[in-house]
Amino acid sequence: MARGRIRERLRQSNLHTFACFGKQVDEREDPHQFLRPGYSRNVYCNEPHCHERKPFKYCSNYISTTKYNFITFLPKALFEQFRRVANLYFLLAAVLSLTDVTPFSPATMIAPLVFVVGLSMAKEALEDWRRFVQDMKVNMRKASVHQGNGLFGPKPWMKLRVGDVVKVEKDQFFPADLLLLSSSYEDGICYVETMNLDGETNLKVKRALEVTLPLYDDSAFKDFSGNIRCEDPNPSLYTFVGNLEYDCQVYSLEPNQILLRDSKLRNTAYVYGVVIFTGHDSKVMQNSTASPSKRSRIEKQMDKIIYILFSILVLISLMSSTGFAVETDRDMPEWWYLQPFNDSKLYNPNKPALSGLFHLVTALILYGYLIPISLYVSIEVVKVLQAMFINQDIHMYDEESGTPAQARTSNLNEELGQVDTILSDKTGTLTCNQMDFLKCSIAGMAYGTRSSEVEVAAAKQMSIDLDGDESDSNNSIGDDVDGIVLETIVTNRDEKDQKPKIKGFSFEDSRLMNGNWMREPNADMILLFFQILSICHTAIPEENQETGGFTYEAESPDEGAFLVAAREFGFEFCRRTQSSIVIRERYPAFVEREYKLLNLLDFTSKRKRMSVIVRDENGQIFLFCKGADSIIFERLSKSGRKFQEGTTKHLTDYGEAGLRTLALSYRKLEEAEYVAWNNEFHKAKTYIGGDRETMLEKVADMMERDLILVGATAVEDKLQKGVPQCIDKLAQAGLKIWVLTGDKMETAINIGFACSLLRQGMKQICITTMNTDTLAADSKEAVKENILMQITNATQMVKLEKDPHAAFALIIDGKTLAHALEDDMKSQFLNLAVDCASVICCRVSPKQKALVTRLVKEGTGKTTLAIGDGANDVGMIQEADIGVGISGVEGMQAVMASDFAIAQFRFLERLLVVHGHWCYKRIAQMICYFFYKNIAFGLTLFYFEAFAGFSGQSVYNDWYMLLFNVILTSLPVISLGVFEQDVSSEICLQFPALYQQGPKNLFFNWSKIFGWMGNGLYSSLIIFFLNIIIFYDQAFRASGQTADMAAMGTTMFTCIVWTVNCQIALTMSHFTWIQHLFVWGSIATWYVFLLLYGMMSPIYSMNVFHLLIEALAPAPIYWSATLL
């Protein structure tokens, strides 16, 4: 397209999107009464001062995505931290440490809590600060805004107001939601990249109303004014309802005229627009809802263990307080040499129950070390580091796209190792979503001779799956398959010698190439077929200045393949304006034909078709329609079904070959018929209200009737590299795999064979809806009964199967699935599905994908993983326990909603079988070890308490207890969670059955948990009583004195440090120098601390002064006790 500006007076277009019909109205009169809520926004164009007062005062353009601000950070962050039960307990203990009931100094209780909570809050603050900095970068971006008298000047985005006229230049982002007024192109179009909104990389075309096209330079806005009445702020990216009152007329507005905030202007010098929605009212901000909160099963189970430990804590505290009350009542009056009750009300022999109650608080604080205060923060650190290893795994890096794996959340790392069921999309997930035009059916005649990759792969897989005993048969089939591949390769090589391979076009059939189609019997229908391919679309051509050829920015890969095919057949789409499409036709003679574009009826997932209405150069009006064959066939006229039988057979063949199909049709229109319909269509378009879309759909449906079938297309979506091998390994790992696809049943089955989802010898159970045409009025009930009977019979067949190695595959279509998901049938359907090795759901909608995922997740109670690549997979990804997005051709919307992102499906094998297995075992062992070491340490306090008459005296120095969780045992457990490998990645991949340790929860079941707790109990008993026996009446110092409490407590603590660190060393299967440093370094740190602490003044070190140098180190009994 020419980039220069040559402005001429444009004639009015009849294109429905831009046509200008309306009655004369007063400038401030409302032609439409807004009788319902949701359509009350009133925007005065170029008059932002009108929006400074209510009811027209709308929110500013300042945006904030932060969780906190300077005022709310402290209260909100503290609230988040103390929602955790363990933190709340330690807060209470810290407060009580300031009273007389505490057994420790306040510093030893407050310092660990401040450290752990402060670390978590610092992490929150850092993350939120980064969000704030990012927000301010956006808010301070400059936009060129009309400041009056036709002058534009820079203004920060945050200062923009509703009604401002904005000029946006090439490669700039739109600062707010704008109504497009004009652009640097004379027909008012512009190209927009919406990657930040929906992740799609292909450019969208936006078109201004023709009435505003004269506003093409700064000075034109000097006296510009208008009024926009439209919908209120809402999150729908693809809809917009409103009218523009301008120059005493009313013009309907569509999504085509709206430029959304955070999308980017591309391939267009500049545009002018008026601000409609600002800040948090803009559609992108309306969509910025928080992702659903997901917690792993291990984390939920960990909470239960914390409650168990709390129960143990309360139990031993009650025992301790009861013992203390008894001691106070019976023995304390006889302790004349102590008489603590003379100085404190806490020890009152006259009120033993009250003294016991006070002691209960003391005991709850004293035994608090049973609860691991640093558990949460340690797990957060470990998970972040695990996520870094996933991100940096070179084996999950896609060289072709330069995309690494990405752990978008670290909360679910261990959940990757416990997946039971995988629910996968097909297109773009198992396949490449890069379409090649391969075959077609025109006028009942099939064209295209090349075999699809799926046909070849399926034949190969079937030959591999044959019984090994039938070696002769297997070899012969293998030879045949190799022959197919060899033939294809040779053909390709021959063609490459003559012509390079064309992306998107793998068609081979000389009957249609080089104009040979003109000699075919139905040349007129073939001509129509090519015209529909080249005209019925929404793509944008871009000319390559070097080659002179065209590339196409299409809304889908299928559409791009159709245009490439049309070009190769001799019908090249070369130019598009608001009201016309230009095609270069090479046959029968080279000519450029212009088709006037009257209406475009868009494709939607609900309509499953798109149509264009055009007028050719002879004045004849045509409707060209393409869509799903089931939708097109029911709209055919009686005379239009001439080729239906042959086309249906070809569609079945194409489906079995794994190809994606669409049916093509047309209809000739009379002028009067079109004008009458167009009037109805414009009435529907200018209606403002919630029923507008429904009205438009009804009017469109009136036109898309009495069609004449022309033919069908078949494009190939090739399997991604390594998909069959990946699925095979995942099946060996014991994972159930469900494929949810919009394809026909035949296509899905064939692709199932090609990708190893279905295997030779696997028994297929197909559940379909019976033909409702033969049923009575209560057909729905009859259909449901029939489906229920099929499910019941299939369930019986599975249960009665005697072969233990028999495998079943369930295949069900979308209509049947709709019934199977109803409340009265879904449990029977699920019971059948979980007994099958593979499940394929065909013709499913995005909503059904999410419903199936929810059914499997809630019905089985096991971990589900959903993987997809498109916007239609977002519901499924968010519903599953783990969502995996593939950064593919359909954009990044699935990735943005996911928990983990990969570039190719084959990387899922390594993500689960290697990283999932490692992360599950690491986190499980790490948590179990945390409870072990705290029980081993905490119970020694209880034993000494009982040994010392329940006095509330701690055997350890306060600083020992402070350092135990924070320094002396923290780094080894983190190294276990980050570096531990029970087996190498190669072994994991070689023996995928090892993965079953996760779904069976072998490392974090209750027997393992109680086993570790029992180990902690055993260690505490041995450490305490062995030290008591050794030190009780033995000479400790050279002068014959026995050990005091400081010496025995320090020796006991030394034993604990050695025991718990040696235990983690024994737990580790894989050592690195980091683990050696952390484990043995922690033990060395204890001795260094003891030496330095003992060298401090007695004011600080108290009874530990020179303890190691003078008492412990020279005493053989100290080293003997430690060794034992």
Interior/surface letters 551-567, b for 16+ CB within 10 angstroms, e for the rest: bbbbbbbbbbbbbbbbb
Query: What do you get for the CA distance between the two ends of the chain, in Å?
Result: 87
Q: Encoding tokens for residue 789?
A: 């009977």
Q: Encoding tokens for residue 48?
A: 């932002």
β-pair partners for 29: none
Q: Encoding tokens for residue 895?
A: 């990735």
DSSP H helices, 801-824, are 814-820
Q: Encoding tokens for residue 1015?
A: 């180990």
Alpha carbon separation from 356 to 366, 608, 891, 895, 984 (Å, rounded): 15, 76, 67, 59, 55
Nearest to 801 by CA among 749, 853, 837, 776: 837
Nearest to 88 by CA among 76, 97, 80: 80
Distance between alpha carbon 723 and the CA centroid of its chain, in Å?
21
Nearest to 8 by CA among 166, 193, 186, 228: 186
d(CA 389, CA 410): 11
Query: Checking DSSP bridges between strand 808-813 and strand 763-767, what pairing results, if any?
Result: parallel
Per-residue H/E/C for 743-779: CCHHHHHHHHHHCCCCCCCCEEEEECCCCHHHCCCCH
β-pair partners for 812: 767, 841
DSSP per residue, 919-977: HHHHHHHHHHHHHHHHHHHHHHHHHHHHHTTS----SS-HHHHHHIIIIITHHHHHHHH
d(CA 857, CA 877): 12
Interior/surface letters 321-350, b for 16+ CB within 10 angstroms, e for the rest: bebbbebbbeebeeeeeeeebeeeebbbbe
3-state secondary structure at position 651: helix
d(CA 1005, CA 982): 18
The residues annotated with a catalytic role in the active site are 425
| CB contact at 8 A, 482 and 457 | no
Q: Is 768 exposed, middle or buried (0-12, 13-18, 19+ CB in 10 A)?
A: middle
